[in-house]
A and B are shown apart, each in its own frame.
Chain A
Amino acid sequence: MPEINRRQLIKTGLTVSAAAVAGTTALSACSNKGRGGVTAQSSTKVKLPKFVRYNGVKPDYVGTNGVQDAAIAYPANPVKAATSKPGDGKPVSALVMTNSPAPPALKNNKYWQTLNKRMGFDFQIELVPFGDWSQRFQTAVAGDKLPDVFALLTGSIASLPNLLEQKAVDLTPHLSGDAVTKYPFLANIPTESWNLTTYGGKIFGVPIPRGAQSSGILYGRQDLLSQQGINERPNTLADFQALCQQLTAKQANHWALGRAPLGWVRQAHGIANSWSLQNGKLVSALEDERQKDALEATRQLVAKKVVHPDAFTAQNSDWKTWMANGTIWLVDDTFSAMPGFYLYPSIKSFRLLYWGPPSVNGGDASIWLGNPNYSMTAINANSADRIEALLSVLNYLAAPFGTEEYRFKHYGVEGVDYKLKGTDPVMTQQGTSETQLSLSYLAEGPWVTYQPGHAQATKDAFEAQSRLVPKGIANPVLGLYSDTDIRKGAQIGLGDLENDILQGRQPVSKWDAGVAEWKRKGGDKIRDEYQKALDERNGK
């Protein structure tokens, strides 16, 4: 039950032309072969790469149980972790999405030139704006123009197993079990991330791990709330609703909430993270009876006008601006949103707090854990003869935080792209432009919480994760594949009905009918496919 977001929109766009993605064969033969019902359950009978933690860098805070490491400052003398140049000296081409402004071309880009020099080959990177990724990817597949390595948004491509079988190299012999130790930075990626890169019992990609960063919490203005004497989260959901009313001052343009926190309220009601297992059988969280209570509780927040009036049309940057200028006190978002809140230098006292959901009956409820991966990177089947060289390139790019390689990859050339402030690299204007090659979407090490210049912010984020993540609830179908979910999940989802209910256009009582329709239009089939995949994974 994720809310509509950028990735969902991409998902819709991609699945519309799924036939094209299934391969050029779809163009030459109008067959339904391979269009659905494929048995491509992730992780089935495959030994995942062994996790070998990289110990060359000691973080200031060491995370366990899913909590991510955190660093107050960048190491003064970063260790040079790579022992040799990656690749085979021949050019390497890549197709990857970007959500940053286009960087200067190679001949005007000192960073790119240095990258090529360091790696010993010509790195040809094709960048595609995130919002247009689906169309560009489809044409690249249909035109057989995929480069040596290419990014994949795995949760959004219909017939993905077929696509991978035809277009990508099976990495299992090179990465499964102990084999991954040949690539130490890839071995440093947590096992849970590899779990989402396997299809039909084969490892088809290198994950871009995000860990707990994609898990959601409620942010608040700690500096402002403490001035009001509010230092603790209310103990119950009812108390929270009362606090929201207390914080809202419509005349002064102060609103308790930046948007309706439906997911957070669902967590407060103890509703499962998308799916739950009951006696070994998958049950959709949409069918949970408490959904109506959660919808009603959130609807009341909107009806009582404690949510910003533009909440349903605002963009991400709007919520952050409202938080920065004190228009709102609280807004729900993922852990990954934290750095964006600290972009407002005019507010020196700015400090965030992190609230997990209160249980309806008092105490703490568990948060939902998000997808541990952002995407994955596959290697073109046409480049199978260079597989070790290309894996060494991805390994090099996955150098962990704190290494010299990571500092170069993220911040560029010292004196050109960044200067040092203490031990922290500080980007120059040239650096912010030159370094946007989206290398982090091709390969990346585990995420480390690092907020240079804001030691307290780093500490706060780490402590919040330590408090909330270990007890978080994972989605039991993560790593499983349902073709129907990919093709129809976004179209038949109940996001519109949720919005209608929250804004008072439909009564909460409509929810049951909506769920019944969802089941009829494909929800039941999605469940069956996931159930089958789950049973196969469990050896049934």
Chain B
Amino acid sequence: MSSTSTARVTPTPARSRRRGRRMINGLPAPSAFESVAKAIFLTIVCALVVVPFIGIISTSLASPAQVTKAGGFVLLPKSINLTAYKSIFVGGVVTRALWISIGVTVVGTALSLLLTAMLGWALSRKGTFGNHVLLLLVLVSLLFSPGMIPSYLVVKQFGLLDSLLALIIPTCVSAFNVIVVRAFFVGLPDELLDSARIDGATEWQLFRHIGVPLSRAVLTVVGLFYGVGYWNSFFNALLYISDSSKWPLQLVLRTYVVDSTQLGAQDLGTSEALPPQTSIQMAILVISIIPILVVYPFLQRHFAKGMLTGAIKG
């Protein structure tokens, strides 16, 4: 304690050297050298993140000749060429799949949020009937996966094959997200809820008028998890949807990126080629990430707060 007191009274030599500096938020402003070094470092880090994105967009827009000459990756296109995008959207398959994905994502996320919030609320209320058993069941599903074929047989027996509901219902509630939401609800002060009860609020009104409004941040984050999950999901569609006209976007795009062997001249009946495979793949990346990039900034402000909920409470 004494040494600490001494340090408070007697400034260290380092601190005394900085005494003349401008202060920012109570801290001394960095020197010019430090500022330049930081700027260079951050520029490099940003470039490492941004340049690949620019490359993806540029390659998708470059002419086939430029892509071929560059060996597959173009940083700055000489001219804007939309051939890759046109070849993807021809026939309307991708457009249709896009709408299916949007529908599945919106409906699925809404349903998932509703069920997760309700389950999380129920599990957070002490003394609820079957609380512990239900919680145990949720945790078991977190630890043990049912496996591909049993899942398929269950979906089949429910008559969901070839139905878009098969893309939502089997993954509707994530145990991880339930635990996160439950952790938030557990932290709500009992006094708040008790005072509402004194005013005559029912359990549903507690959930609807207190629980949900206060959990906006955590529900936003969980919603983002669900939304991204539904948006990126392709495997359930592969297993459960036989009719390719009901395929979501990611499964359609997968046929371009993962498996597609470019049609040869023998298939095309011509020496005029399709756009290079790399251009098509890059165009598909752009198409698939744009919706998430558009939505994310609106949710970002909730993100850190919501994440902390799950991180520090169990």
Contacts and interface: CB of A to CB of B under 8 A. Distances in A.
Nearest to A315: B277
B152 A99 contact: no
B290 interface: no
A102 B93 contact: yes
Contact of A411 (B149, B265, B269): B269
B239 interface: yes
A534 to B, nearest CB: 34
Interface string B236-248: 0011001111010
B1 interface: no
A104 B93 contact: yes
B232 interface: no
B5 interface: no
B55 to A, nearest CB: 15
Interface in A447-467: 450-454
A178 interface: no
A321 interface: yes
Contacts of A432: 87, 90, 263, 268, 274
B245 A426 contact: no
Contacts of B149: 17, 20, 27, 138-139, 142-143
A55 interface: no
Contact of B156 (A130, A145, A453): A145
A145 B264 CA distance: 33
Contacts of B267: 339, 410, 427
B268 A100 contact: no
B265 A346 contact: no
Interface in A68-96: 74
B96 interface: yes
B310 interface: no
B92 A135 contact: no
A340 interface: yes
B69 A325 contact: yes
Interface residues on B, range: 35 or more
Dominant SS among interface residues on chain A: mixed
Interface string A127-143: 11111100110110011
Interface in A417-443: 418, 421, 424-427, 429-430, 432-434
Contacts of B235: 132, 135
Contacts of B143: none
Interface in B254-285: 254-256, 258-274, 276-278
25 contacts: A99-B261, A100-B255, A101-B93, A102-B97, A103-B91, A105-B243, A108-B91, A128-B238, A129-B258, A129-B259, A135-B235, A136-B239, A139-B152, A145-B161, A318-B72, A342-B264, A345-B271, A426-B269, A427-B268, A427-B269, A427-B270, A430-B90, A432-B87, A433-B91, A452-B266
Interface of B: 64-65, 67-72, 86-88, 90-93, 96-97, 148-149, 152-153, 156, 161, 235, 238-239, 242-245, 247, 251-252, 254-256, 258-274, 276-278
Given A101-B255, A317-B276, A325-B70, 6 more contacts: A145-B161, A344-B68, A426-B268, A427-B270, A433-B93, A452-B270
